[in-house]
Structure 1
Amino acid sequence: MPWSILGDFNATLLSNEKGGPGAFNLGSAAEFQAMIDACLLLPISSTGKKFTWTNNRRRGHVATVLDHSFCNEKWVDFFRNVMQHVLWSSVSDHAQLLVISDIVSKSNNIPFRLHGFRMENENFLLVVDEAWKMQLIGDPIYVLSEKLKRVKGLLKVWARDSFPNLNMELEQATKILKMIQDSIEESGMSDDLFNKEADAKTALLTASCRHEALWAEKEKLRWVKNGDCNSKLFHLFVKLRRARNQISALKREDGSWALDQRGIAEYIASFFEKFHEPTSIIEHHDLLDCIPKILSNEDVASLEATPIREEIKQIVWDMDPDSSPSSDGFLGKFFRKCWEVVETDFGKVLSKIMSSSLMPLLPRLVLDEQGAFQKEEAFCRGLKLLVRDGKLKSLPGPRGIRLERLPTKYLDVKIFKGRVRGSHVLPLLDNIKRKLARWKGKLLSLGGRVKFVRSVISSITVHNFAVYWWPDHSIKLVELWMRNFIWSGDMEVTKKIVVTWDDVCKPKQEGGLGIRRLRDVNFVCLAKLTWQIKHEESSMSKFFWGHFLKADGSLKSGHISSSIWPGIKKVCNFVALNEQWTVGNRHKIDFWKDRWLNHLSIEEMLLNDGGHNGNLKTKVCDFIHNSRWDFPQVASNFMKDIINKANSIYISGMEDECHWRPSSAGVFSIKSAWEACRRSSPKVSWSWCGSPLFNLVKQFLDGD
């Protein structure tokens, strides 16, 4: 039965639903979430005001979301358009909620979409070839566009005749098989019924495969491959996404609202007609004089060169075959399937060819800092101070950039000053809670939940882990949610399991499920940042080096007020222990402290030999003259041994270079760092390896 519930629940669900003084109550939010999960409720998307309640105080002003609206799955099935509008409050301290549930008819002008399963039909290539034979004269882009239009028309007619309504086909095939099997139970098996049952099973299997392939394209959940395909979960994902993407209302420039579909269509058409009208602009030709000439004539010629046929084919094969179709409705796999037919018309991939040609030149055109965000709070604070003092202003013109509103959050990484606290990562916890909703856990199998946690949940925190050292209680809370979700399907319900979480978080070769401990991931992500600071030449690395490190690469002593500093302190020793230098002709390698002779530094070997380090400050290059070793005479047996080992090292004459020891290639990677920091276990020897059951289980857990 479809039903909906809305009103004042006197509880907040997410941390961003509360503004003002006072801490967010995690316990109350957990109880509220448990009630929602127990009733299998789905939140209704909201527009308008963010907060629904306020205490109306001048000082200590608090605004929160206490009023919510929910519905069940059948409500979404019945009403294609469900939306909540938060209206303005008048006398009450609560805002009014308006929930609109409309039965929106299916549009008649649905864009063309080529479904992948139709390309497996034996007549598909014949239809495309027939359409592509059309002879046209003109620009290659025009020719390709017209041929694709003709292919669309013929494929629509062909698909309508060759592929019936998939839902009706599946229902009819199921009904026929049931009737035949009922006849077998009543009258017994006969040759005729046996043949009919075999044909009915084949028809049902074909219909099921087509139906599953169609929903696999609609659900757009790339993390799942097998096991949970075509389940109720993915049907619900599609319905929720459709409801969320449905435009139910638009606010006009005069403040009025367009609420019906006809009014929305008229307003959109008039808006873009006005938007594309010619307008007067202020030209800034003097800005062109400030752009340096970086590309040489050879670089420009390489960009303008006509690509060869092999290059075009490689670009086509590099395209994701299962990605969402572009505006023309064709998937990437269409061009692979029909390559022999369409290869002469390569206009489709011109943009991809251009990006591939430009890729080698991008490091010279774009700074490293322009490809990411500034990982320190000083950048945005400094620019805002310049704006406040009048030293910086927005550019004039109709599309000027307002520098007064610089972002302080990127990829859910919030910029702040000081030690990372639990309140700083609450937005990430909210995101994880939304992903681990109970209705998802109940609709997924155990293998599906493992894959969901490994592929989706573990990746949410990666960008934040790359900058900040998370508090222990936040790490433990997220892992508790992950553990509960895997075993019980509900992140708030603990189930007694004899397998420890440490055993679960092992590679599959060691008997685990391939999930990584979040603390280990946090550790190696910060190790990557530290490695970049110490060994890359970017402006960001130089900035952090001067801020956090001494001239010799060691950490500065004392306290530094920074949100990044605590994490770098945690991993700096681990990075130093895994460095290995190659001797060249530069002044980078410290003779005593760096590991250039073997896996230990000379200072560490001296301490192990019973000596003391003292205040030793010497570079390796001090003992190199004309690319040859030049050591003074020494009396110490320890130093004689060091000199003998050093003389066996070939001086390359290149620059000093530091390698990452855990990697065979000497290049830092998250995987090699994780293997180096974790506690490994012996590999498990499965006695049933190679059996069909083992291969099936492995394929299911791998998601391949």
Structure 2
Amino acid sequence: MQEVMEKLGFNHRIVIDAKRKAGGLAMLWKFDSTVRILEYNKNLIAIKISDPDPRCFSIIENAWNEDVYGSNFTRLCKKQEATRQALHTWNKEVFGLCQVRINTLIRKISDVQNANPSNFNGRTEASLQVELREWLMRSEVLWRQKFRELWLKKGDKSTKFFHLSTIIRRRQNNIDAIRSEEGDWITDKGLIRQHFLDYFRHHFIKEEVNFPDHLEDLLSAFILEEDNLALCNIPTPEEIKSTLFHMPDLKTPGPDGFPVTFYKSFWPIVGDDVIKVVTSFFTGGSMPKEINSSLIVLIPKVIVQELIHSFKVRKIKAGQMAIKIDLQKVYDRMKKLKKDAIYLGSPLFLSRARTKDFKYIIDKVESRLTGWRSKCLSWAGRTTLLNLVVQSIPIYAMSSFSIPDSVCNKLDSLSRRFWWKLKNSDGRFLALTAWDNLCKPKTKGGLGFKKAKQINNALLSKLAWMIASKRDSLCMSILRAKYKVRDDWLRREPLRSASPVWKAIEGVKEIIVKGACYLIGDGASINV
């Protein structure tokens, strides 16, 4: 391969070796770019090519290394602001408006193509095409960062989809009006902000709690001394860097405005300051509000469902632990909420009309598919949207509830119509092949689509297997203790009085039984 690369005039390569006498892939390139392999197999090589302007490094290095004073957090914020201002000025002065450059190049190419053919015009057009591709790539990267759709890996250069996605995201992130409990609409920004503050202050006020004496003696220590020391260790620079480099490149940026890819790309310049800030937090135990503005702690939804079910079926006796008393108060407050309240993508309260309870999933999928921006997608874009977005929307609910068949069938129907008849939401359409064929894996001639009920059963089976295999986790421990799960659980009759989550888990036990088996160990718990 080295000889072939040199003969063709390339100086870089990525090679996937052949297995025996078949297969094998190679990618060769000439440009001095940074190439990172995203994924590869016998059929494809997916790479990310970054070719930053060499002047960009000097701009960032000079701005970042300016003398600033203060704590590690203050110094980092000042360096970020100085770098942001320097990049903004450099981009405006050197590159100007990206779309203006693209339109200018398109006009020049058109003029050359309309001129008389000649070697000079051919070389000129080739040069302009190379420059146009570079600016189109920059425009695509710009819009991709603006609308931050992580699922779209393939697409056209700066299409309507990018622009519409950015506009829609900005509108969704903006609150223009809210409706008060009295039914009045509030449109003033200051009044909206005050209404939110008053609402949460009213519902989540601090209450006096009388703690029993010696409350700390009710719980024995479960964390060993060596475990406690490990938890209190300050992370090493290698651990800090590894954690950051495992984050998605274009995940939502913080108040500084820089995405994760900035810190990855310029780690030799910014790495020391980032490490100092993280280390300062672990040694000092404090962090400015601006940096800590997005940390939220949530209770897992399965545990929430079990708590709600427990509070429904029995009353909490006086004298129990303070934490349970507080949870009972939270439940009393929750009962005043809307019956269709959603927590972590799942309904908090279920009625007897199960189809109505999960109709919100259909509405979310329908709004995503029938939106006007989805009509700008190509066939490849539609495939990606269905596989990575649409079929992921109901995942949260499907991972803990048994979704009614009518809802699952409607989700499959929406996906079929979107695939075959993109621009019409009703009426008949021609399907050139059965949906079952499209739901086959790509290795068997399908497109990898999945049926909703099969996804639901697979996710519930995962929970059932975690119960049967005695997975060591807080959530599984709570479920096994509440429902008295023993070794014969897979063969026992389902409980009648159980939460919706547990009923859903027991409903897929037969799937686990088909594939489960016993492995003989030391014989301590089995009769031979």
State whether TM-score is above 0.5: yes
What is the CA distance between 1:329 and its match in structure 2? 1.5
Task: Report the CA distance between 1:540 and its aligned residue.
Answer: 4.8
Distance in 2 (CA, whole Å) between partners of 1:212 and 1:288 is 64
**Counterpart residue number, 2:141:** 213
Cα distance in 1 for residues equivalent to 2:426 and 2:174: 32
Cα distance in structure 1, aligned partners of 2:393 and 2:195 = 40
- Distance change in 2, residues 1:586/1:417 (3 Å): farther
User: 1:171 and 1:421, CA in 2 relative to 1: closer, same or farther beyond 3 A?
Assistant: same
Structure 1 pair 240/340, CA: closer, same or farther in 2 (3 Å)? closer
Q: Are 1:181 and 2:113 matched, yes or no?
A: yes
The equivalent of 1:231 in structure 2 is 159
| TM superposition shift of 1:417 | 6.4
1:528 aligns with 2:467: no
Matched, 1:332 2:257: no
Contact 1:421 / 1:471 at 8 angstroms: preserved in 2? yes
> Counterparts of 1:444 and 1:577 in 2: how far apart (Å)?
41
- Specify every segment of 5 or more residues in structure 2 that has no aligned partner in the other structure, as ranges: 1-47, 283-297, 336-340
Letter in 1 for 2:189: I
Q: For the structure 1 residues 122 and 287, does the alpha-carbon distance in structure 2 shift closer, same or farther, using more than 3 Å as the test?
A: farther
Identity %: 23
**Structure 1 pair 144–284 and aligned structure 2 pair: CA distance change class (3 A):** farther
How much has 1:224 moved relative to structure 2?
A: 0.9
2:361 paired residue among 412, 419, 428: 428
Q: How far, CA to CA, are the matches of 2:194 and 2:407 in structure 1?
A: 48
For 1:565 and 1:396, how far apart are their aligned partners in 2? Answer: 24
Give the CA deviation at 1:497: 2.8
CA-CA distance at 1:161 after TM superposition: 1.4
After superposition, give the CA deviation of every residue in 1:92-143 in whole Å (9 maximum; x if it has no partner): xxxxxxxxxxxxxxxxxxxxxxxx9998111111112222333456533333
Aligned match of 1:110:
none
Match of 2:302 among 370, 373, 395: 373
Aligned position for 1:573: 510
Q: State the distance in 2 between where 1:304 and 1:388 align.
A: 37
Question: Is structure 2 residue 128 aligned with structure 1 residue 194?
Answer: no
Secondary structure of the structure 1 residue equivalent to 2:334: coil
Contact (CA 8 Å) 2:301, 2:343: kept in 1 or not? no
Q: 1:533-567: CA deviations, max 9, x gaps?
A: 32326565564687496762244448725545664
Answer yes or no: is 1:449 the counterpart of 2:387: no
1:197-230 CA-partner distances (Å, limit 9, x unpaired)? 2333233222222211111111221111112453
1:189 to 1:350, Cα distance in 2 relative to 1, 3 A: same
| Letter of the structure 2 residue corresponding to residue 509 of structure 1 | T
- Of residues 452, 466, 489, the one that matches 1:553 is 489
Distance 1:521 1:129, change over 3 A: same
Q: Deviations over 1:475-500 (max 9, x none)?
A: 22221221121122145354323322
Q: Which has the larger radius of gyration?
A: 1
Question: Aligned residue for 2:33?
Answer: none
**Offset from partner CA, 1:1-20 (integer Å, 9 cap, x none):** xxxxxxxxxxxxxxxxxxxx
Q: How far apart, in 2, do the equivalents of 1:525 and 1:468 lie?
A: 9
1:131 and 2:63 aligned? yes
Distance 1:535 1:508 in 2: 32
Cα gap change, 1:429 to 1:250, in 2 (>3 Å): closer
Tell me, in whole angstroms, the C-alpha distance in 2 between the residues paired with 1:252 and 1:405.
Answer: 18
Contact (CA 8 Å) 2:346, 2:397: kept in 1 or not? yes
C-alpha distance in 1 between matches for 2:331 and 2:351:
25
SS of the equivalent of 1:405 reads helix
Number of the residue aligned with 2:4:
none
Alpha-carbon distance between aligned partners in 1 of 2:316 and 2:192, rounded to the nearest angstrom: 37
Bigger mean CA offset, 428-437 vs 243-252: 243-252
Correspondence for 1:510 among 417, 422, 444:
444
Once the two structures are superposed, the pairs formed by residues 149-298 of structure 1 within 5 Å of their partners are: 149-182=81-114, 184=115, 188-228=116-156, 230-249=158-177, 259=187, 264=189, 290=215, 295-298=223-226
Matched residue, 2:391? 458
Instruction: Supply the distance in 2 between the matched residues of 1:430 and 1:495 (Cα, whole angstroms).
Output: 21
CA distance in 2, matches of 1:459, 1:287: 47
Q: Which moved more, 1:319-328 or 1:578-587?
A: 578-587
Q: Go from structure 1 to structure 2 and tell me whether the alpha carbon gap of 1:344 and 1:156 turns closer, same or farther (over 3 Å shift).
A: same
> What one-letter code is carried by the residue in structure 1 that aligns with 2:465?
W
The question of whether the paired residues in 1 share the 8 Å contact of 2:302 and 2:400 is answered with: no
Partners in 2 of 1:578 and 1:253 — Cα distance?
Answer: 53
Counterpart for residue 143 of structure 1: 75
Residues 167/131 of structure 1: CA separation in 2 closer, same or farther (3 Å cut): same
Higher helix share: 2
How do 1:483-494 residues align onto structure 2 when only pairs under 5 Å count?
483-489=416-422, 490-494=424-428
What is the 5 A alignment of 1:342-381?
342-347=270-275, 350=278, 370-374=299-303, 379-380=308-309
Displacement of 1:575 after TM fit?
0.9
TM-score, normalised relative to structure 2: 0.70
The corresponding residue for 1:319 is: 247
